[in-house]
Amino acid sequence: MKKIAIILSGCGVFDGAEIHESVLTMLHLEQLGASYQCFAPNIQQHHVINHLTGEELQQQRNVLEESARIARGNIKELSQLNSNDFDALVLPGGFGVAKNLSNFAFEGAKSQILDQLKHVCQAFAQQQKPIAYLCIAPALIGHIHPHGTLASIGNDEQTAAVINQLGAQHVECDVENIVLDSIHKVISTPAYMLAESISEASVGIHKALKALVEMA
């Protein structure tokens, strides 16, 4: 059975991991006959958003504790993730990727990513183990993989241009498809960058994870 690590970035599309994408990731991996373990960094969120009103709340939340909501408590600190123990890696999207795992949401082409995350992802890459990036997570690819690695967040020209500036090579992709860099073993799919329903997001995510498991 293939063992897959999942890195979450909180709980909720506007300040953490996209919940539908995260749950679909777990569901499809299980249906594909793989096992998974969730991880998240033990850090404070950048901020907390009221998902009903869109307003920022004056409170603090912890990324690991919030991610545990999605993982039903079965989650470990990112610092415990050892690439030797897994066959592949998945990063669901959500603004937590661009606010907590990196500062892409604020700095764009000048963004940096969490050192711990970079170390873990590069360890998988160096061992030639595949990584799937969903939704906005492909914005991290230029920080982790060699210059020119293929990536897609769909078809948003402005975001695509920034991804290119960061060193990846953006490829347009519709919601139900994937972009596969077979040389660097990197898979991306737009998911909720384009999806207008959970079933639309599900199609591309399933294809990405099927490719991930087959490549692992």
Q: pTM above 0.95?
A: yes
Q: Is 11 a catalytic residue?
A: no
* H or E element in which residue 36 lies: strand 35-40
| Bridge partners of residue 133, in order along the sequence | 91, 188
- The tens-digit pLDDT sequence of the chain (216 residues) is 999 999 999 999 999 999 999 999 999 999 999 999 999 999 999 999 999 999 999 999 999 999 999 999 999 999 999 999 999 999 999 999 999 999 999 999 999 999 999 999 999 999 999 999 999 999 999 999 999 999 999 999 999 999 999 999 999 999 999 999 999 999 999 999 999 999 999 999 999 999 999 999
Strand pairing class (88-91; 3-7): parallel
Catalytic residue, chosen from 11, 38, 121, 135, is 135
The b/e string for 73-87 (b: 16+ C-beta within 10 A; e otherwise) is: eebbebeebebeebb
Domain 3-215: CATH superfamily is: Class I glutamine amidotransferase (GATase) domain (3.40.50.880)
